[in-house]
Homo-oligomer: A and B are copies of this chain.
Amino acid sequence: MADTTLMDKLVSLCKRRGFVFQSSEVYGGLGSVWDYGPLGVELKKNLKERWWRAMVHARDDIEGLDAAILMHPRVWEASGHVAGFTDPLVDCRTCKARFRADQVATASCPQKPSKAPGAHSACDLTEPRLFNLMFKTFMGPVEESAAVVYLRPETAQGIYVNYLNVLNSSRQRVPFGIAQIGKAFRNEITPGNFIFRTREFEQMEMQFFVRPGTDEEWFERWRGLRMGWHHEIGLTPSKLRWHEHGPGELAHYAKAAFDIEYEFPFGWQEIEGIHNRTDFDLSRHQEYSGKKLEYFDQAANERYLPYIVETSAGADRVALTVLADAYREEQVDGELRVVLGLHPALAPIKAAVLPLVKKDGMPEVALALYHDLRRHLPMFYDDSGAIGRRYRRMDEAGTPFCFTVDGQTLEDRTITVRHRDAMTQERLGLDQAATWLLERVAAG
């Protein structure tokens, strides 16, 4: 199966089963903006909840935060985004197309796709010009006089400017971290690959504040923890790898940076970055705000600006990774079976309850079981169509288990459990179903 075909199939399944829809589709869509449907919103919630539990609830040394998207414009001067968060762009005066300057050599000329922009005789390219990637808006009602504010291009700065507030209101001491999940916006020139690179996206970020000199040790520790997390959510280990930023790649604020990359159908791409940001951010905010941002270490009786180790993952990217990793097609009895092999903890629906036929009292037993289980976990009830078709529907939705109420159920109060991945079946006592299912979902 060709790689583009795989992405097309995934996009199509996502729409058909209600994972992801194109934004404003009835109006022809809005470029590279996507909406999460009924199953997608649950998948993404499960993913974020799992990250939050690992990063905040399961640890004593990390606090949560939810900073606003709108921030004081000086924040982005201090961070370097106003001056430096730019891409050099080249326009073609003839065809009005626009390209990233570093991609002119490899892009296609829209008028003559066999050539690169500039290589065709009618091309008339401008010199590269810098464009800021931050979305700009105006606070206050009148555009001319209102304050220009930006939609944050990353969530990290909301953590830095709050770090003393968090320290003062919690009982944390360095080393400690602040975690946040929230939206950010970048006016990308070339978004694409479904929900991989979008202009509006959600980040799961943690900033860990450490004593200078201990930063390299913490950096290594966080690399290990974060790669471990991606294994735990069920991603195929051989499709994950490290990419170390070489000297030419390192951001101006970083002393070291490693990306966790996943092998998508469109190639190896970053899904999370771990960065040693040194004291760059706090020293800049100290300089621009004129406020002392030093930490006072009582035990050592010393003052310093903490170094920061950052772990930054895209929630939408990880959702896409989970979907792409879970998607598979199999030939079963001469028919195509499409399966989303989602980890039970991430699956939007944990189990379906299906009466084998719509008579003989089976629907009544099945509905009672469904209502009982739904008090604990998201469930699905389906009584329409052949049982095989109902299994296939749940395979596509990533539902790990189906509980079927059949003739034997009415005799001995057992149900058939059908496993999504192996398609094996076993019998289970009706009154054990809740415990059985809760154990398997929690085991993740």
> Which residues of A pack against B, CB within 8 Å?
15-18, 21, 23-31, 33-42, 44, 57-58, 60, 63-72, 74-75, 87, 89, 98, 131-133, 135-143, 149, 151, 158, 161-162, 164-166, 169-171, 183, 185, 187, 189, 199-200, 285, 288-289, 291, 293, 374, 378, 381-382, 384
Contacts and interface: CB of A to CB of B under 8 A. Distances in A.
B40 A66 contact: yes
4 A-B pairs closest in CB distance: A18-B169, A24-B72, A38-B63, A131-B141
A137 B139 contact: no
A109 B57 CA distance: 50
B68 A23 contact: yes
A416 B133 CA distance: 57
Contact of A158 (B35, B39, B138, B158): B35
Given A35-B162, A37-B165, 8 more contacts: A23-B67, A23-B71, A26-B164, A26-B289, A31-B139, A35-B158, A68-B200, A133-B141
Given A169-B38, A199-B139, A289-B27, A68 B33 contact: yes
A187 B33 contact: no
27 contacts: A17-B169, A21-B162, A23-B70, A23-B72, A24-B72, A24-B161, A25-B165, A27-B75, A27-B288, A27-B289, A30-B71, A30-B149, A31-B139, A35-B162, A36-B66, A38-B166, A38-B169, A40-B66, A58-B374, A70-B185, A70-B200, A131-B141, A133-B141, A136-B137, A136-B138, A137-B137, A171-B382
A22 B140 CA distance: 18
A105 to B, nearest CB: 20
B65 A36 contact: yes
B35 A67 contact: yes
Contacts of A64: 38, 41-42
Contact of A169 (B37, B135, B141, B183): B37
A75 B27 CA distance: 8
Q: Is the interface of A mostly helix, strand, loop or mixed?
A: mixed
Nearest to A30: B72
A377 to B, nearest CB: 9
A135 B138 contact: yes
B165 A21 contact: yes
Nearest to A18: B169
Given A25-B161, A165-B21, A71 B33 contact: yes
Contacts of A185: 70
A199 B187 CA distance: 22
Contacts of A27: 72, 74-75, 161, 288-289
A374 B57 contact: yes
A299 B285 CA distance: 64
A66 B200 CA distance: 13
A38 B378 contact: no
Nearest to A188: B141
A15 B70 contact: no
Contacts of A38: 63-65, 166, 169-170
Contacts of A16: 169
Contacts of A18: 63, 165-166, 169-170
Contacts of A42: 64
B15 A57 contact: no
Contacts of A58: 374
A72 B139 CA distance: 21
Contact of A137 (B63, B135, B285, B293): B135
Contacts of A24: 71-72, 74-75, 161
Contacts of A189: 141
Most buried by B among A57, A98, A141, A291: A141
A38 B384 CA distance: 47
A96 to B, nearest CB: 8
A156 to B, nearest CB: 13
Contacts of A135: 137-139
